[in-house]
Each structure stands twice: as structure tokens, then as C-alpha cells.
Amino acid sequence: MKQGILAQTKPFIGQSRQSIRQNADCVVMVPPKEFGFNAQTAQDNEFQTRSSLDQGTLRAQAMHEFDAMVSGLRAEGVQVVEFDYPLSETQTPDAVFPNNWFSTTQDGVFFSFPMACENRREEVKPDALVSTLAQAGRVVKQQDSLVQYVEQGSFLESTGVMVMDHLSKTIYAGLSQRCERESLQDYAERIGYPHVVSFQTQLPSNQPVYHTNVMMAVGERFAVICLEAIPDYERRFVAKSLAKSKQVIDITIEQMNQFCGNILQLETVTGDKVIAMSKSAYMAFSPAQRKQLASHGKLLPFDVSTIESIGGGSVRCMLGEVFLPQS
């Protein structure tokens, strides 16, 4: 797959003809009961910072932020499925970010993904989550997995590294050690998305952005993106692709560092649009940008400052979208 080129994937024979939705009305959230600084992910996640707090205090603060976010989303009419995952011998400090290891489709397919960091692979518990989803009235008709790519050293951390425009069946992906071309192309073919827009990214440190969903978000009719983080030779191509059907809201590196790109548009049970984001992201958007976003849905800012600073991920990372049909 060449850089800066819209890659064409093979047609998907079993593709559903049902109406395509951009936004989920149900999300999976995982309580941060083992939350902490993850030294493994910190190797390439520049958004993480260490804390002087003791582990008990840290987890209590993270749990408070988590509970408030769950309550807030439910109060707005978004279905939240809490996955109180079974513990194992290896601790999972990043389990609060479930969107990195699974995804779902409207056809009822549940995918599991290859994680780059060893302790994050312990989070991948598809059978347990499928059972929890069934109890919540969401039907998994088929399971599929790309976990085998771990053996090849090829990783693809789900909607952390892939930002989807479901309406145009386009995947946007910033390439990094957590997003390899081979597994990316394989997934696009499996779900029948004919367009993959892959590109390089670069932070001021010259390192790539570890997850695409930190620098961009795609809603039904808008896209937030830090074009500054994309090299000149690809920036215009990515922006042009988004502008075909979206209002493009460009954010700066400084705004990206406040997680302005890590937001997610959702639907309520009544079909209303809401946009979940962190309080820090909300405050970092300019008044004009907030007005633009508010035209696409009610803005829902949540204070997840502990999870953001220690975990290096924000609100969107905490939300695993569920597109599965209801039973």
C-alpha cells in the first residue's frame, strides 16, 4: 500500500445491504480496577506521565472518573455495557481502553486484534466479552480474529489506529509500530471497506503518533484532525479525502496534546447525536470550534484527567463501539 494513495481492497462478497450507520448507540466500557502507569506502552506513547500518587489513590481516582462517565452517558441515553473482565496473573493497567483490542460490525461480527505490547495482549478476552454483550441484548453471529499477526510481528490495535468513515467505507490510519500495512489491509478486506487512506505522522520529537484516534475523529458529517502532525507530502491528500463529505475541523499539536482529537460521536436510544470528549479537550477547543462541533451533536465533556495523564489515552479510547444487532 503506497503512502498517500487511496488503496483499493478486494470486494467483500458477504457484505450486508442494510443501512450503514456512522455512530454506535451502545459502547463497552471497562472499569480501571488494575489501572496504573504502563511502562511497556510508554515506549512509544508520549502522552503518558508518571504519578507520585500511591496505587490505591490512583485507582480510586480513576474509578471515580470512570463511574461518572458511565453515569453521564447513560443519562443521555447511550447504552453502556460494563465489562468487568476476569483477572489473570498478568496485570492489565490499560484495560480501561478496550477500543484497542476489539471491534464489531452491523452484520454481527466480533473481531479481536493483535496488540503490540505484551501485557495488553492479556486484555484480549473475546469469549468473556461476547457473553457479556449477549446478556446486554447484543447478538454476535460470528467471531473473527487477526491475533495471529502477533506471531509475525505485525500489529493492528483496532479503532485506536483505525478511524472509520463507515458511510464511505473508508479507513484512515496513521502508520506506526502499532499499525502495520499487512494486517490493516487484511482487516479492510474482511469487512469489505474498499478504501484505506494510510499516512505517516510526526510529532515534534520526530516520533509517530502512537494511535490515530489521538489525532483525529470522524463523525457523520464532520472530522477533527491535526493536519500539522502529517507530513506536507501527504497532508493535502488526507484533508481532501475528508473534505469530500465532512466539515473538517483542523486542530493544532497543542490541542491534540489536550486530546481534542480523541472524541467520539454517538447516538442515543432516541437517535439524538452526542459527542463525548474529555474536559481538557473541551477547554482546549476554541469557542468557534466548539460551536462547529455543537452543530453536530450535544457536547458531553467528562473529567478523566487522571486516566488521561497516567494512561495516555482519553474518552474515545475508553469507548468500544458496539454496532451489533439487538436480540
From residue 253, alpha-carbon distances to 54, 79, 250, 257 in Å are 31, 32, 10, 6
Using 50, 70 and 90 to split pLDDT, how confident is the model at 11?
very low
**In the chain, how many domains are there?**
1
pLDDT tens digits, one per residue of 253-278: 999 999 999 999 999 999 999 999 99
The pLDDT, as a whole number, for residue 85 is 81
What span, in angstroms and rounded, lies between the C-alpha atoms of 62 and 175? 30
Q: At residue 189, what is the residue type? A: E
The answer to which of 36-45, 161-170, 194-203, 315-324 has the lowest mean pLDDT is 36-45
Higher pLDDT among residues 213 and 19, named by residue: 213
Query: pLDDT at residue 181 above 60?
Result: yes
DSSP 216-227: EEE-SSEEEE-G
pTM: 0.91
Cβ neighbours around 44 below 10 Å, total: 18
The reply to whether 242 falls in a domain is: yes
The pLDDT, as a whole number, for residue 191 is 97
Strand partners, 143: 110
Which CATH number characterizes residue 71's domain? Answer: 3.75.10.10
pLDDT tens digits, one per residue of 271-312: 999 999 999 999 999 999 999 999 999 999 999 999 998 888
Q: Mean pLDDT for the chain?
A: 90
What span, in angstroms and rounded, lies between the C-alpha atoms of 212 and 122? 22
pLDDT tens digits, one per residue of 138-175: 999 999 999 999 999 999 999 999 999 999 999 999 99
Instruction: Give CA angle at 157 (250, 121), nearest 5°.
Output: 145
The pLDDT, as a whole number, for residue 64 is 97
Higher pLDDT among residues 141 and 59, named by residue: 141
Instruction: Give CA angle at 19 (16, 23), nearest 5°.
Output: 110
Tell me whether residue 246 is exposed, middle or buried, using C-beta atoms within 10 angstroms of its C-beta: 0 to 12, 13 to 18, 19 or more. buried
> What would the grid cell of residue 161 be?
489506529
DSSP 248-306: EEE--HHHHHTTTT--EEEE-TTS-EEEEEEHHHHHHS-HHHHHHHHTTSEEEEE--HH
Higher pLDDT among residues 75 and 34, named by residue: 75
% of the chain surpassing 70 pLDDT: 89
The reply to whether 274 falls in a domain is: yes
The reply to whether 13 falls in a domain is: no
% of the chain surpassing 90 pLDDT: 78
Helices (H), the chain: 55-76, 118-121, 126-135, 158-161, 181-191, 212-215, 232-243, 253-257, 279-284, 287-294, 305-311
Query: pLDDT at residue 40 above 90?
Result: no
Query: pLDDT at residue 120 above 90?
Result: no
From residue 169, alpha-carbon distances to 9, 24, 218 in Å are 11, 15, 12
The pLDDT, as a whole number, for residue 3 is 40
For 76-93, what is the mean pLDDT? 89
For 24-52, what is the mean pLDDT? 73
The reply to whether 15 falls in a domain is: no
End-to-end CA distance of the chain: 39
The reply to whether 103 falls in a domain is: yes
Q: What letter would DSSP give residue 207? A: P
The reply to whether 26 falls in a domain is: yes
The pLDDT, as a whole number, for residue 167 is 97
The pLDDT, as a whole number, for residue 15 is 41
87 SS3 class:
coil
- The residue whose grid cell reads 479481536 is 112
What span, in angstroms and rounded, lies between the C-alpha atoms of 157 and 102? 8
The pLDDT, as a whole number, for residue 37 is 55
Provide the residue range defining the domain that includes 47. Answer: 20-321
What span, in angstroms and rounded, lies between the C-alpha atoms of 123 and 125? 6
The reply to whether 9 falls in a domain is: no
The reply to whether 261 falls in a domain is: yes
The count of C-alpha atoms lying within 13 angstroms of the C-alpha of 171, restricted to the half-sphere facing its C-beta, is 29
